Structure 1
């Protein structure tokens, strides 16, 4: 088992490179994702390879939440709270997040190493990766990063319960992050979510749509620039500027190197008005890239068509679609099943004040955030 820096990877030649190795080499310079500041390395366990993000806490304010827990639990949380539209709840929660931000800064929570971090909202874990290697990974990271916390993002009990329990037995803290929505397509055409009224209506809409579904192989550089723009319209302009700023160059590298699959909706005049980008493995699929022209009338149903493409892909592959968080009612009406997502963080080797803040964060989120997410169906 070894941890290889980006510089070491650049100096090695490897036949039949894994997708993880390609990804680390592509993103190591941090020029392809505009608001992510971190080092990348490759963890080679001997049976699997995973990208690893490394931050030292000295990165700029507003560093993307995919590498910064401070942004995830204070900056991003403030943006989410602001959109709740419930004044009686907004003000106390805003004050709470300001206090949390101060604690996180003092505890240097952004001095963190994260395994299997693909710099996405949702990281996928291979089903064949069991728990036997976790003690050795823990020992390696503790020895290599004695002054950093380390852990794993994007775990939920539907897909990763055994892994979560194993990590907790090794002393990792469970830190809730958000509620995600899963669509289980393992039954193929018999998948339960296909029977929902809204799902069937979306299928009809896509079938009658004037848009052509274009695979990634048919997209040129101009199309990729357009997809970057559509993603920005939705995730940055409509939702939150703290979401990852994926560039057209990132889309192109992913498409060409095989770690990202793209689909686009091209209108009869040749313009792309909606697009998707998938990450997938043998059992799971996620869609970190979703974008559409938000200036077009809602009756065009672009988001509905893109959602239907995601559900079809899960059914055809017979896998589970992790459709991330957000648009909760929309996803529930189509059969999405809510699951709380966690990060598992090891801090037992850190100083007691830093351990205390991580422990308080865990208890605060378990005690307040999780019940709120479930009650408000976020």
Structure 2
């Protein structure tokens, strides 16, 4: 049994999953079922964070699961977090100019889905990391039609009405995530495409009064817009692993916990 050979529970094929509102017993039953049917694989659960899932994390710890901090994420909670920062206000003013036209993904044709995938690739793959999920236009189309994924495109009247930005969101169980953000990185930064897309994401969470998981990265940008940090964990079930593997898991967990606490102080 190796951590690299894993089966991920609740995997929606995005960087940040939303956990359904079930208690720890249901998750433990799922871990047991996966272990029984796939004994050579490690069952894991991603996207567990201490802002939204504190009691669940405590229960996993009591049951002997291995908690591995993997990244610092940021979040806002509506309607409690109602105030707007100065940068929030600037972003709202940017959107109020009407410089770009926002169109829901339900109006997209095949070429629009392909362009959405290209814009995502320009930012998340070519600029950030080739380890990020890689999508096709067909995937986006089916994801929207079959899984409730919400796409919105930014179209530029000054460039023949072409799509220059895209936002993809999940709204499930009182939480909103935006795992797909993309824009034409060849265009001038002064256009504020990234700011526009994040402001659109924030406006959706505000209007629906959701817990907004802003994921990781762009830390100062998110802090300037009122987001608070939290630690996200990967939960691994090593209870059936060998003694040496369980020990290695505990050591790794402790090391990452120390690193996570240091990261939260930054």
- After superposition, what is the alpha-carbon deviation per residue over 1:237-272, rounded to whole angstroms, capped at 9, x for unaligned? 111110000111110101222431100110112101
Name stretches of at least 5 consecutive residues in structure 1 with no aligned partner: 1-106
State whether structure 2 residue 156 is matched by structure 1 residue 267. Answer: yes
Q: How does 1:240-279 map to 2 (within 5 A)?
A: 240-268=129-157, 269-279=160-170
- After superposition, what is the alpha-carbon deviation per residue over 1:295-347, rounded to whole angstroms, capped at 9, x for unaligned? 11111000000011000000111101111101000000000110010011111
Query: Which of the numbers 126, 151, 155 marks the counterpart of 2:44?
Result: 151
Q: How many positions carry a matched residue from both structures?
A: 264
Partner residue in 1 for 2:63: 170
Query: Which of the numbers 217, 236, 246 marks the counterpart of 1:326?
Result: 217
Q: How does 1:220-231 map to 2 (within 5 A)?
A: 220-231=109-120
Post-superposition offset of 1:287:
0.7
- In the aligned structure 2, how far is the partner of 1:153 from the partner of 1:244? 15
Q: What's the secondary structure of 1:195's corresponding residue?
A: coil
TM-score by length of 2: 0.94
Post-superposition offset of 1:370:
0.9
State whether structure 2 residue 17 is matched by structure 1 residue 123. Answer: yes
Query: Which of the numbers 302, 305, 314 marks the counterpart of 2:196?
Result: 305
Partner residue in 1 for 2:84: 195
Partner residue in 2 for 1:68: none
Partner residue in 2 for 1:70: none
Partner residue in 2 for 1:374: 264
Going from structure 1 to structure 2, the CA distance change for 1:313 and 1:246 (only over 3 Å counts) comes to same
Higher relative contact order (CA 8 A, sep 6+): 2
Partner residue in 2 for 1:180: 73
- In the aligned structure 2, how far is the partner of 1:342 from the partner of 1:348? 17
- In the aligned structure 2, how far is the partner of 1:328 from the partner of 1:336? 9
Post-superposition offset of 1:359:
2.1
- In the aligned structure 1, how far is the partner of 2:208 from the partner of 2:79? 8
Please provide the CA RMSD for this pair.
1.5
Post-superposition offset of 1:360:
2.3
Partner residue in 2 for 1:27: none
- In the aligned structure 2, how far is the partner of 1:260 from the partner of 1:354? 38
Post-superposition offset of 1:372:
4.0
Partner residue in 2 for 1:291: 182
Q: Is the 8 A contact 1:264 1:272 kept in 2?
A: yes
Q: Is the 8 A contact 1:148 1:350 kept in 2?
A: no
